[in-house]
Structure 1
Amino acid sequence: MAQILVRDIEPETIKRLKDRAKQHKRSLQGEAKSILEEAAQSATWGEAMKRAKKIRESFGDKKFSDSVKLIREDRDR
């Protein structure tokens, strides 16, 4: 498995990572690894835009009611 070394991390960042690690019952290294893995699995901007476009296209030419109007009506009850 590959390794990375990150230098010059601000002390406040380390403190916050340690706090997160403690909350998740992990070591500092385990917490950093978890954060990196989650970030690497997140969709890129382009992937997210492609997915959003696909969802929009799945609705076709359907028109939806004005949700602002519905919310106002509900609040006025």
Structure 2
Amino acid sequence: MASITIRNVPDAVHRALKVRAARHGRSAEAEIRAILEQAAQPEGRVALGSLLTSIARDAGELSDAEVEQINDLRDTRAAEPIRFE
């Protein structure tokens, strides 16, 4: 796991972080980790896979004819290995 060092944190901010951590029943370090985690990964964020799944769900199921058409367009040739020459 990575480590981060933050320099020149104002005293007032440091005190406020300690108070906030105490209110949440955790260390100042754990509180800062929680703040960073929420900032980097907000709850409202939608993952790409979830978005694609919801689009497919909204579009509805494919008919047999549509599946057949997709299968006809699909390239069935075996892939050739990459050459690094």
TM bin (shorter chain): 0.5 to 0.7
| Partner residue, 2:2 | 2
| Partner residue, 1:33 | 33
Counterpart amino acid of residue 27 in structure 1: S
Aligned-partner Cα distance in 1 for 2:26–2:37: 15
- Say which one has the larger Rg: 2
How many angstroms does 1:14 deviate by?
Answer: 0.3
| Partner residue, 2:16 | 16
| Deviations 1:32-73, CA, capped at 9 Å, x for gaps | 0000000000268xxxxxxxxxxxxxxxxxxxxxxxxxxxxx
Counterpart amino acid of residue 13 in structure 2: T
Q: Which runs of 4+ in 1 moved over 2 A?
A: none
Number of residue pairs matched? Answer: 44
What's the C-alpha RMSD, in Å, of the aligned pairs? 1.4
Q: If each structure's helix is expressed as a fraction of its own residues, which one has the higher value?
A: 1
Aligned-partner Cα distance in 1 for 2:36–2:26: 14
Gaps of 5+ in 2: 46-85
Gaps of 5+ in 1: 45-77
Identity %: 41
Normalised TM-score (structure 1): 0.54
